[in-house]
Amino acid sequence: MKKGFIVLESGETFEGVWVGGENRAGEVVFNTSHSGFEEMATDPSYFKQILVCTASQQGNYGAHREFWESKKIHIEGFVCLEIQNTDREHTWIQTLLNQKTPILHQIDTRKLTLVLRQKGTPWGALVQAQDSEHAKKIAEDLIRKAKDVDSDWPFLVSVAKPEVRKGSMSGGLKLALIDYGVKENIIRELLPYVSEITIYPSRTSSEDVLKNNPDAIILSNGPGDPAEVKESVQTIQRCLGKKPIFGICMGHQLLALALGAKTYRLKFGHRGANHPIQDKISKSIYMTSQNHGYAVDAKTLPLDIEVTHTNLYDMTVAGIKSPKYNAMSVQFHPENSPGPRDAKYIFKYFINQIEQSRR
């Protein structure tokens, strides 16, 4: 058994068993979902993050390529109490190790979670080492290097050039999607309603987006701080009023910024599959899948912006609508994957909104 450590920037170290992978650093976040480790690990919103799963046993049902939310593992490390590793079933470990993603298990994830909750989302590193002092030294260096990247994280995970995906509705809507780190399931959910979706890089210009005269613009989810995303606010502002806009997660935060609101960093973010949302559009309350570290500040929203969705855990803004510009967005993930599908109707709702606006 090899020793491994998770070292937090704030100084705490936790010792566990090193399963494999290379030493890496990232923001350390926890997710409380019971299942869906693969969907989470491949979600580009986890870019630069070490994922701590609070559910104690992970990998039980193995890896399945069809659940991938992008083409690669995005997390910088995987931490849990116990990971499935038997001759019969170890495909999840194998999948992570194929990308050298470090895996640490047999650590007290609850204590770690309580620390993460108190400290906010600290940077940290997963390190294979002899002892914690040794680990701290290695970690310091790794964390420093890891932080030293472009703070525009969506740019780092976005497509390099536009891509077109064909939908199953021939003659149907044409959508433009600005990719800040889009989850595959957003595309999967939209394709049945449309003839095609064109996916644009995050720093795309409004001219490019509007050039093909799409019926609407989708702003995708993505990692990091919305305030650091370059060019997108301008691009969105120039599209406002010209096309219906729908944003998810990062897309929601960017829309809010474009509308003149501010965003702020949540202490430890919302990551899980059990967050209650009050939805004024459907007049209902439902469970959602969430994964974000920033939120839109309600006080800074212009008066003509409606708050359509509220997170009932902490009453933060979880959805907005601008009737003037026919733009709307949600902070959570209606495409789920993993998590409950209760909010799936929103896709259809948005499609209906577009169709109405065309008439």
Q: How far is the CB of 319 from other proteins (least distance, A)?
A: 16
Tell me if 318 sits within 8 A of 253, measured CB to CB. no
What is the distance of C-alpha 159 from the center of its chain? 16
Specify whether the CB–CB gap between 214 and 175 falls below 8 A: yes
User: What does residue 155 show for φ and ψ, rounded to 5 degrees?
Assistant: -60, -35
The single residue among 65, 71, 88, 359 that binds other proteins, judged by CB under 8 A, is 88
Q: Is 265 in the site for other proteins (CB under 8 A)?
A: no
Q: Would you count residue 123 as binding other proteins (CB under 8 A)? A: no
Separation CA 139–CA 17 (nearest Å) = 17
Q: Which of 48, 136, 243, 275 binds other proteins (CB under 8 A)?
A: 275
What φ, ψ does residue 199 adopt, rounded to 5°? Answer: -100, 125
The correct pick among 253, 316, 337, 347 for binding other proteins (CB under 8 A) is 337
Nearest CB to other proteins, comparing residues 2 and 144: 2
Q: Which two tokens stand for residue 245?
A: 């806009």
Q: Is residue 339 close enough to count as binding other proteins by CB under 8 A?
A: yes
The C-alpha atoms of residue 108 and residue 121 are separated, in whole angstroms, by: 18
Residues between 10 and 69 with contacts to other proteins, criterion CB under 8 A: 30, 32-36, 39, 54-57, 60-61, 64, 67
Instruction: State how far the Cα of 130 lies from the Cα of 134, in Å rounded to an integer.
Output: 6
Question: Per the residue annotation, which of 249, 270, 275, 292 is the catalytic one?
Answer: 249
Nearer to other proteins, 61 or 213 (CB): 61
Q: Is 333 tagged catalytic? A: yes
Give least dist CB 295 to other proteins, A. 16
Phi-psi region of 347 (alpha: psi -120 to 50; beta: other; left: phi over 0): alpha
Task: Report d(CA 206, CA 221) in Å as an integer.
Answer: 18
In whole angstroms, what is the distance from residue 292 CA to residue 221 CA?
A: 9
Binding segment for other proteins among 70-78, 239-247, 256-264, 278-286 (CB under 8 A)? 278-286
Question: Which CB atom, from 29 or from 143, has the smaller least distance to other proteins?
Answer: 29
Among 212, 284, 352, 357, binds other proteins (CB under 8 A): 284
The answer to whether residue 90 forms part of the interface with other proteins (CB under 8 A) is: no
The distance of closest approach from Cβ of residue 183 to other proteins in the complex, given in angstroms and rounded to an integer, is 13
| Widest pairwise Cα distance in the chain | 68
Residue from 263, 336, 350, 351 touching other proteins (CB under 8 A): that is 336
- State the Cα–Cα distance between residues 298 and 283, nearest whole angstrom: 20
Interaction of residue 272 with other proteins, rule CB under 8 A: yes
Q: Is 249 marked active-site?
A: yes
Residue 176 — φ and ψ, nearest 5°? -105, 135
Q: How far is CA 59 from the centre of its chain?
A: 21
* Shortest Å, Cβ 124 to other proteins: 17
Record the tokens describing residue 96, joined without a space.
């992570």
Binding site for other proteins (CB under 8 A): 30, 32-36, 39, 54-57, 60-61, 64, 67, 81-82, 84, 86, 88-89, 108-111, 113-114, 117, 272-276, 278, 283-287, 312-313, 336-342
Q: Which residues are known catalytic residues?
A: 249, 333, 335
